[in-house]
Amino acid sequence: MQRQKICIIGSGNWGSAIAKIIGFNAEAHPELFETDVPMWVFEEQVNGHKLTEIINTEHENVKYLKGIKLPQRVIAIPDVVEAAKDADILVFVLPHQFVRGICDKLKGKLKTSAVAVTLIKGFEIAEGGGILLISNVIRQSLNIPCAALMGANIANEVANEHYCEATIGCQDKQLGQKLKSVFQTKYFRIVCVQDETVVEVCGALKNVVATAAGFTDGLGYGDNTKAAVIRLGLMEMIKFSLVFYPGSKLETFFESCGVADLITTCYGGRNRRVAEAFVKTGKPIGQLEQEMLQGQKLQGPPTAAEVNSMLKTKNMENKFPLFTAVHKICQGTITATEMIECLRNHPEHN
In the stretch 141-180, what mask flags binding to ligand G3P with x, by CB under 6 A?
Answer: -----------xxx--------------------------
Are the beta carbons of 294 and 306 closer than 8 angstroms? no
Residue 206 falls in the annotated catalytic set: yes
Q: Is residue 96 within the footprint of ligand G3P (CB under 6 A)?
A: no
The active-site residue out of 206, 226, 319, 328 is 206
Residues in the chain: 350
Phi, psi of 147 (to 5 degrees): -95, 180
Shortest separation between residue 257's beta carbon and ligand G3P, angstroms: 9
For residue 327, CA distances in Å to 179, 272, 285, 292, 336 come to 35, 14, 12, 21, 11
In terms of phi and psi (left: phi > 0; alpha: psi -120 to 50; beta: otherwise), the region of 345 is: alpha
In the stretch 206-245, what mask flags binding to ligand G3P with x, by CB under 6 A?
Answer: -x--x-----------------------------------
The residue number with the shortest CB distance to ligand G3P is 269
Shortest separation between residue 110's beta carbon and ligand G3P, angstroms: 27
The residue number with the shortest CB distance to ligand NAD is 12
Quick one: what does residue 146 bind among ligand NAD, ligand G3P, none, with the CB cut-off 5 to 8 Å set by partner type? none
Shortest separation between residue 276's beta carbon and ligand G3P, angstroms: 12
3-state SS, 49-76, equals EEHHHHHHHHCCCCCCCCCCCCCCCEEE
- Interface with ligand G3P (CB under 6 A), residue total 13
Compute the half-sphere exposure of residue 337: CA atoms within 13 Å on the CB side of its CA. Answer: 1
Quick one: what does residue 265 bind among ligand NAD, ligand G3P, none, with the CB cut-off 5 to 8 Å set by partner type? ligand G3P
Shortest separation between residue 256's beta carbon and ligand G3P, angstroms: 9
**Distance, CA of 312 to CA of 324 (rounded, Å):** 9
Return the SS3 of 36: coil
Instruction: Please enumerate in sequence order all residues whose Cβ is within 8 A of that of 140, keeping only pairs 6 or more positions apart, or say none.
Output: none
Residues within window 76-105 making contact with ligand NAD, judged by CB under 6 A:
93-96, 98
For residue 347, the one-letter residue type is: P
Q: DSSP characters for 112-179?
A: TT-EEEE----EEEPTTSSEEEHHHHHHHHH-S-EEEEE-S--HHHHHTT--EEEEEE-SSHHHHHHH
Cα angle vertex 258, ends 253, 261, to 5°?
165
* Nearer to ligand G3P among residue 144 and residue 292 (C-beta): 292
Q: Is residue 256 within the footprint of ligand G3P (CB under 6 A)?
A: no
For residue 99, the one-letter residue type is: V
Residues within window 279-318 making contact with ligand G3P, judged by CB under 6 A:
299
In the stretch 293-312, what mask flags binding to ligand NAD with x, by CB under 6 A?
Answer: --xxx-x-------------
* Nearer to ligand G3P among residue 176 and residue 302 (C-beta): 302
Binding site for ligand G3P (CB under 6 A): 121, 152-154, 207, 210, 261, 264-265, 269-271, 299
Q: Which residues are catalytic?
A: 206
